[in-house]
Amino acid sequence: MCCIIIKKAKGLFEMKKTLANFIRALLVFLIIASALMCKLWLPGAIFMVIGHLEQYAGIAGAEVSMAVCGLCAVVVLPVFVIFVMSFAFPGAIEKETIFSEKTAKLLKVIGVLLVADCALLCVMLTVLLALDASWLLVAPFIFTGVLGITVGCMLLVLSKYVKHAAALKEEADCTL
């Protein structure tokens, strides 16, 4: 009987470790995809906006390029912060502290940051569409915006469930 319990516990530990490693691998993939998006598509979007401003508004490119680069940094850099913060989540799965107030707050913060960042990305996308950007330039921004808002909303809902589960776990611990 004791052997069966030990085997089940070992299997559960391996499953948690596998899930945590899968989430870590997914986060690394998302960080690399974000970096590639910054490298490949963001400069094209910046130069397109600068070109339109120089052509129609007569504004010099040097002043505008600094402002546009600053705006793009505000939109893109939080993605890296969000993914770095997300690395605490797989650790919570491994340490069995997933059902805690701390994890619920972490999920809520990550979800809010992701939704806010993707809302800024949608504003940038609107500017690109208003300037008649090509679909090859706009498609990655659309994909990232939709995916980010979806994942952010899922994390906000998940944070509610984790918070509720943490309260139930605390109540059960007090009862026992």
- Residue scoring higher pLDDT (62 or 175): 175
Q: Report if residue 87 sits inside a domain.
A: yes
pTM of the model: 0.60
Average pLDDT for residues 85-113, to the nearest whole number?
Answer: 74
Is 138 part of any domain? yes
Asked if the structure places residue 47 within a domain, the reply is no
Residue 146 within any structural domain of the chain: yes
pLDDT tens track for 39-80: 666 667 667 767 766 666 666 556 666 666 666 666 666 766
For residue 101, what are the domain limits?
A: 2-32+75-175
Does 175 score more than 60 pLDDT? yes
Give the model's confidence band at 166: pLDDT under 50 very low, under 70 low, under 90 confident, else very high.
Answer: confident
Residue 49 lies in a domain: no
Give the pLDDT of residue 32: 72
In a domain, 26, yes or no: yes
Domain count, the chain: 1
The answer as to whether 171 is a domain residue is: yes
Please provide the DSSP assignment of 49-105 as one string: HHHHIIIII---HHHHHHHHHHHHHHHHHHHHHHHHHHTHHHHHHHTT--SSHHHHH
Distance from C-alpha of 79 to C-alpha of 106, rounded to nearest angstrom: 15
CB burial of 92-110 (b: ≥16 within 10 Å; e: otherwise) equals bbeeeebbbeebbebbbeb
In this structure, are residues 117 and 141 in contact, taking their beta carbons and an 8 Å threshold? no
For residue 65, the model assigns a pLDDT of 61
d(CA 162, CA 93): 12
What is the pLDDT at residue 9? 47
| Per-residue pLDDT at 53 | 67
Please indicate, yes or no, if residue 107 is contained in any of the structural domains. yes
